[in-house]
A and B are shown apart, each in its own frame.
Chain A
């Protein structure tokens, strides 16, 4: 309880006035935890706004590219690797619960992993996979000034 009070206090001091009421499936209403208060706090949202723009490709994932801790996060890493995208910003949400909740609020997207290109939200694992399969990913990387390794490999084989 003390931890909850401290967390709530930290968020209130940072200027957040928002709070959430979550409605479980049975129709009751309960006050969301202080972690949700923190997730919406202007500090974290501001930080995220900068984080997604600092690098061309940004991934919020579970684990790291070297050691993913989730099959879906790993799929994103593998797809990017196939296209030769090895240099990108990867943030491990398992290390920071405020980040984990904050990015869900920031993107208005409920799950991890989350992918950003040039500060714009692309989607999660499913979307990246479909973009890879239908060729859109090559085009989107081109717009970022990144030449996909798959295109280069195809050119070399001709």
Chain B
């Protein structure tokens, strides 16, 4: 019997495969360093003034004044340092963290460059980031709730639109709170319809979702152009005003951003927390996830797969309906045709970037909200780049962040598949 030696596996072997990835990250960081130095450092002069206090604030704190060119060079230096460190040593576990920090630095350098020689309300932008993130976060949350039970929910866009419409119509006649209830009910109804189509009748999930979207778009557009334009009192809903949380709302910066918002912002934050508790800390949540991952296994344990899907998709619809009401009751008080403008789809993207987790979806929604509000504010600053183009940068950053930082996201294993008993 021939026996060879059994030398233990060395750590050097293990490092081998990871090293290449680290080198790639190092090169990216170095590239960013050069980019920041050339594009931002060399072209900006003067100070960027970031206003942190809003006119209404109780406590006022001084403006943040950043010398633009030096800041860009500092950022470039830091990026170069991270990059070289990464390249030389391979940086261990923290390699993606450094990439994330690096990207964040690039965004700040960009903002400083754009603001150089001018002044810009940072707090104001963060405040509107929060507001603009609401429908996306709620759309994403609706996506999380239904995809966790393996129902792909393309219909979120339609549910948002239906919620916006119902909110405006019912809100105009019966007041804001009833309007919200109506929006939630309509959203839930469409959730139920989606469940009926895909769970019971096994219609293809994408097709069912698209059908709902087209139906809602057609119906609301028709009613709005034929009816609401004639009877304008039907499209004149009250708007929910911001509610100040005592004491907390007086805090500088985070006061206006987090504690001086309207019902929809608070509602979205609470729903994200409740959904996290539900999915990951309750019995029903465990069962729901089991149904999304391995419906057959759930079935063999006596869990009713169909019922679970119905309930969760309906709840998802209700969440989306609430998110829809934001467009009307939470912002402009009236319904316009197609006013959701694809936020439902962006919500789905937030769900994926957030790795099918409510908090993740919220975070991703904030990045999109940031992009949205940045684009607006930059238009005021008159940067040399077309604002549409500027608006792309944060999205690109998101993609890089998600790809580099979070890694490959894995959807629920049974996502999109109907379950057939026997």
The reply to whether chain A is a binding partner of chain B is no
